[in-house]
A and B are shown apart, each in its own frame.
Chain A
C-alpha cells in the first residue's frame, strides 16, 4: 500500500493512512542497539528464576516419562475404550499452538501485513518449540519409542511397508514436513540478523558461533534478490501447510466412524481452532516479552489490538462450528450422533463441554470492547481462557466421543493419572524453557525485516513494490 500522499491528486484522509508501525523515533542503528545488544547483556535474576521454574516442570515431565518407560503404559489412565487420551489431546493441542507462527510469518506476509514483521520471529520460534512438544506425545504413545522409525516407509528386512491409506501415516508426513519447513523458514529469516550480531559482538566465542551460523552472509544485492524470492516462495509453501497440517490431524478423527468424529466440518474447524489457540499463546508470551525486554516501541499496543481481533474472529468461527456440530447431530437423525452431542452438554463429562464452550465462545466476546483489547488484564484473561478452553475442546472431542460409542457394554469412564498430568506439565516446561533460552541468545525481533519497513528505509523514487 502506498502511503505517500504526494503521488495522489487528492490527499489521502488521515484516517485511511496506515498508522506508524513503531512508537517514537526508530532508526536501523537504534533498532540494532535495542534488539541485538540484548543477548549480550547479563540476564536478570527474574530470568534465572523463571528458568528454574520451567526446568523444574520439565524435570517432572521427564521423570514421568521415565516412569512410564520402566513401568509400562499402564502408568497412564488410558484403557479400553479410551485408548487415545492425554497423549493425543496434548499432541493436537501443541500442534495447534504452532499454527499461529506459520500464519503470522506466511499468510500475513503474502497479504503484505507489514505489522507482522515485528512479531513474526517470536511466533515462528514458538511454532518450532510447540511442534517439538507435540511430537513427544505420539512418540511415547507408541510404547516403544526406540522403534518409532518404523513409522516411515523404508525398505526393511521384514519386507513390510506402511499403509498409505491410513491418516495416521499422513500425519507422520504432515508433522515432519511442517517441522522441516518451519525450521527452514525460521533459519533463513535469522541469517541476516545473525550476520548483524556477528559484526557487532566483541566476544570471541560469540563471534565464532555467529560467524558459522551466518554462513558468511554479506548483504550483497545479488544475494538479497534470491533471498527475497526464496522467502516469498517459502511463505507461499508454508501457507499451504497452515491449512493442511491441522486438516490432516483432523483426518485422524474424521476418517473414522466414531460418532462425534465422523464429520466433514472437522478440517476447517481444526484449522480455525489451531489459529485461535496459537494466537492466544502468542499474546500471552508477547505481553511478557514486551514488558520484560523493553520492546514497547516495537511491539506496540496496535499489534496486540490486531492480534486480539484475530482471536475474536476465530472465536466466532469456533462458535459456528460448535453450533454446526449440534445441528448435524439433530439434522442427521442419527441416534448415535445425537447421543454423542448430548454427552457433551449433559453427560458425565458435561463440565468439560461447558468449560470448552465458555472459554472459547463466551469469554472471547469481551474482545468486542476496545477497552478489553487494550488492557493487559482482560487480554491475558481471554488468552489464558482460550488456552484452557482449547485444551478441553480436544478432551471433549477425544474422550467424550470414545468413552461411549456403539457398544454400551464397552462404555467406561476415563480417569487420567498423575503421570498423565506430569507429562503435560513437562511439555509446558519444555516449551517455556526453550522460549526463555531463545529470548536470551537470538534476536527476538526480525531486525532486518523491521529495518526494511522503517520510515525512509526505502528510496523515495521508483520503489513501488509495496
Chain B
C-alpha cells in the first residue's frame, strides 16, 4: 500500500454525526490535512476543520464600491464633460439621475465578483484533474455519503497509518487515492500533434467560411427606401432608348378631367350638345367661372361692358347681341376653349364641366336680359 505514492486516504461515513465526531480525532492525529467531502454543506464543519472565514464578503464589498464609482465616473464624464446635453433644464453635472445606473452597475460588479470570485479564485474551479474526482467514493459523495480525506502534506505521508486512523474514527469504507501523474506532458510529439490539429482546424474553418461567403453573398435584412431602383441625376437611362429618364407623354395622352377640347372650326362645333343638366349647382358653378374669368371683359350682364374695356380700349363681344343669342351652345363652347379674336383660349384654366357650366350661365344671362311675360310664370318648385 505504501510502496506507491498516495495523494490522500479517503474514508466514508454514513451519517453527518459520524463525520463530525471523527474530525477532531483525525485532526489530533496530525497525519495529514483533513478535508471533508459532502453532498451538501454541513453546519459547523468549518469550525471543526479549522477553516478560515471566507474572504468573499470583503472582495464583494470592494468590487461593489468600485462598481458604483466606475458607474458614477463614467456617467459624469460623458454627461457633464464629453457630451453635455441639457435635459429638463437640469445642470449637465446633476448627479441624481446617475443613481439608478450606479445601483445596477454596483450589483453587476458585486455579482460577478461573488460568483466568479468564488469559483475561479477561491475554489480554483473549473478543475477536472483532482484525484478525488476519480475516486470510487465520488458516486456516494455527491449522493448521500460523507467522506473525510487525510491529504498528504509531505513525502513522509504514511497512507497505512492514515487508513488505520480513519478506520478507528469510524469510517466504513477506506480508499487510497494515488497521486496524480505529474510527468511532463509537453513532449515534442504532443506539441507537434497539437499544432497540426490547430492548423487543420484553421484550414477547414477558413475554407468553410470562404465558400459560405462565396455562395451566400451577404443579404441585407431590410431594404432602406434609398435602395430602390431609380435614375440618378446626370446619368443616362439604360431603360429608354433615347437615354432620357423623363419621357414626354405618348401623343394623344389625355389628362384626367381635361377631355379633348373642341378642335377644328367654330362652325364644326355647332352641333355639340351641352352634356350638363340645368341644375342649381351647375348654374352656381357657371356663375363662379363667369365671375372669375369672363366678367372683367364681358361685364356682369354679358353686354360687353366689363371693367377692363375702358382701360385697354378693347371691344369684347356683346353677348346680348342677336348674333350671339342665336349661337348654338357648341359655338359658345368653342369660343371658350379656343378663344376668338383678342380673347385668349381658356382650355388650360377650365375643366370640361366648368366650360359647359359657363355656357349654361351665359344662356341664363341672355335670357334674363330679354325676359318675356312667359318667364315670370312660376314653375312648380
Contact = CB atoms under 8 A, between A and B. Distances in A.
A276 to B, nearest CB: 23
Interface string B144-175: 10000000000000000000000000000000
B105 A29 contact: no
B251 interface: no
A300 interface: no
Nearest to B126: A215
Given A226-B54, A461-B20, A234 B38 contact: no
A180 interface: yes
Contact of A221 (B42, B56, B103, B127): B42
B45 interface: yes
Prevailing SS type, chain B contact patch:
helix
Contact of A173 (B39, B44, B49, B104): B104
Contacts of B127: 215-216
Most A Cβ at <10 Å: residue of B41, B45, B79: B41
Contact of B16 (A146, A220, A457): A457
A164 B79 contact: yes
B79 A459 contact: no
Interface of A is mostly: helix
Given A163-B87, A221-B36, A221-B38, A180 B51 contact: no
Interface in B182-210: none
For chain B, the bracket of interface size reads 35 or more
A229 interface: yes
A465 B118 contact: no
Contacts of B111: 177, 180-181, 184, 234, 237-238
B142 A195 contact: yes
Contacts of A224: 38, 40-42, 45
B294 interface: no
B90 A217 contact: no
A286 interface: no
Contact of B107 (A164, A192, A220, A241): A241
A218 B123 CA distance: 10
B41 A218 contact: no
A251 to B, nearest CB: 7
B297 interface: no
Contacts of A153: 74, 78
A28 to B, nearest CB: 4
Interface in B57-113: 57, 60, 74-75, 78-79, 82-83, 85, 87-88, 90, 97-98, 100-101, 103-105, 107-108, 110-112
Interface of A: 27-29, 32, 69-70, 144, 146, 153, 159-167, 169-170, 173-174, 176-177, 180-181, 184, 187-188, 192, 195-196, 198-200, 211, 215-230, 233-234, 237-238, 240-241, 244, 248, 251, 448-449, 451-452, 456-465
